[in-house]
Amino acid sequence: MNDILTVSQFHDAIAGRRCQLLEFTSSIVSTPSLSGEEGDVAQLVIAELKRLDFDDVWTDEVGNIVGKINGGAGPAVMLNGHMDVVDPGPSDPWPHPPYSGAIVDGELWGRGSVDMKGPVAAMIYGAATYKQLRIQPRGDILMTVAVMEEIGGLGSQFLVQQLKKDGINPGLAIVGEPSNSQLRLGHRGRIELQVKFSGRSAHASAPHLGVNPHYAAAKFLNALDQLPLLNDSVLGPATIAPTLYETDQVSANVIPSEVTVFLDWRNVPQESPKHAVAELEAVLDNCLVDKPNCQTEVCVTSQERQTWTGVGREFASVFPAFATEPKSPLAVCAGEVISESTQKPASPSVWEFATDGGHIALAQIPVVGFGPGDDRLAHTNQERISVNELQQAAGTYAALIDRLAKAQIQARSASE
């Protein structure tokens, strides 16, 4: 089976639209879109998908955007990115205002330029090459732009379930989070947990009248070191970190009746939220035997948020881990396309942070990761992306769409 086009033909097509790509990227970077407030940027994305002649463009209940390009009978390729950004913080330390979208010395500046409106724009333009050149992709292309990734991934979680309900089953997904234009094959998950210790409040001058929950919490925190954490061959070891600590009092002369410790558990795929809760309960059992008056409770935290479409949802603070086998045909093919396209080794590795790729992989859709931009600049006041890298990534996405679909077809027929 021949390639639809060579990598350099895809790059040539994108070069012809460089100005449009940069103009669109700048327009979405200069439009604020905190999680739950993505409406304005969603309208810009919808308009651009229509302008670029996507066959079908729709918004789902929670405000995710899907742009579809009709293809042949091959596997549908999902491209996934998110349109929300984290708060830029004070403007003063930014060399250029956070919502300027200014291009200075070959770099486009602003909140979301790297994480991840730049990569989203590159994916949209990469997919649109098929329309631009009037060639039919092997299978449908689904450009998905999700809401609320930065607060737990409610958008993509809903998206994959809804696509399934609608009878749309992507054969693979490319997650475009920034990767320095290298191949990423997964990341550890994130489970946010809270452990509550309840005692009995008392005047701090008479501690014997109360049950001070701080002591139980201290014992628990010290015992966390001994918790056996699993190690994954691709993702490395899981870690657990106590983060926030709250009490139910504001006065320093009152023994609290309750303290709550928040934990950030970066889990490997073998550790589910249920497993995490059970492990913590075992630690509590061991270290609190002599504290019969102190009650404890462990749970995964959840939050209730409203989407820009006005839908209220409660969701658990869980990002699943995922790991794509480095020797799988999909990963090998992605590595080849990326190194041919960027003229550098694909350097497969994993992301330090969690992404919507975990939610997508959990829905049984194989995932590879690739995105332009330095991921270390994400969430900082130095956030900016090289416009040449952005343009190059658009061509790489176009080639990945074709070659990965081809690799899936070949892997399927080989296993038959």
In the complex, which residues of this chain contact Zn ion (CB under 5 A)? Answer: 115-116, 177
Q: Look up residue 336 and give its two tokens.
A: 């080849």
Q: How far apart are the first and last CA of the chain?
A: 17
Q: Decide whether 177 or 374 has the Cβ nearer to Zn ion.
A: 177
Q: Decide whether 54 or 319 has the Cβ nearer to Zn ion.
A: 319
Q: Decide whether 145 or 172 has the Cβ nearer to Zn ion.
A: 145
Backbone angles phi, psi at 30, to 5 degrees: -85, 5
CB distance 198 to 257 below 8 Å: yes
Q: How far is the CB of 117 from Zn ion (least distance, A)?
A: 10
Q: Decide whether 84 or 140 has the Cβ nearer to Zn ion.
A: 84
Q: How far is the CB of 349 from Zn ion (least distance, A)?
A: 17
Q: Decide whether 140 or 177 has the Cβ nearer to Zn ion.
A: 177
How do 190-198 and 258-266 pair as beta strands? antiparallel
Give the integer Cα–Cα distance in Å for 383 and 123.
19
Q: How far is the CB of 267 from Zn ion (least distance, A)?
A: 19
Give the integer Cα–Cα distance in Å for 149 and 82.
6
- Residue type for 44, please? L
Q: Decide whether 33 or 198 has the Cβ nearer to Zn ion.
A: 33
Within 10 Å of residue 292's Cβ, how many Cβ atoms?
8
Q: How far is CA 72 from each of CA 78, 105, 297, rounded to the nearest angstrom?
A: 14, 42, 53
Q: Decide whether 293 or 303 has the Cβ nearer to Zn ion.
A: 303
* Angle of helix 273-287 versus helix 213-223 axis, rounded to 10: 120
Within 10 Å of residue 204's Cβ, how many Cβ atoms?
15
Cis? peptide before 123, omega within 30° of 0 = no
Q: Decide whether 378 or 405 has the Cβ nearer to Zn ion.
A: 378
Q: How far is the CB of 320 from Zn ion (least distance, A)?
A: 16
Q: How far is the CB of 400 from Zn ion (least distance, A)?
A: 19
Backbone angles phi, psi at 87, to 5 degrees: -60, 135
Cis? peptide before 148, omega within 30° of 0 = no
Q: How far is the CB of 229 from Zn ion (least distance, A)?
A: 25
Question: Measured at CB, which residue is nearest to Zn ion?
Answer: 115
* Maximum C-alpha span of the chain: 82
Give the integer Cα–Cα distance in Å for 110 and 91.
11
Q: How far is the CB of 177 from Zn ion (least distance, A)?
A: 5
Q: How far is the CB of 82 from Zn ion (least distance, A)?
A: 6
DSSP 116: I
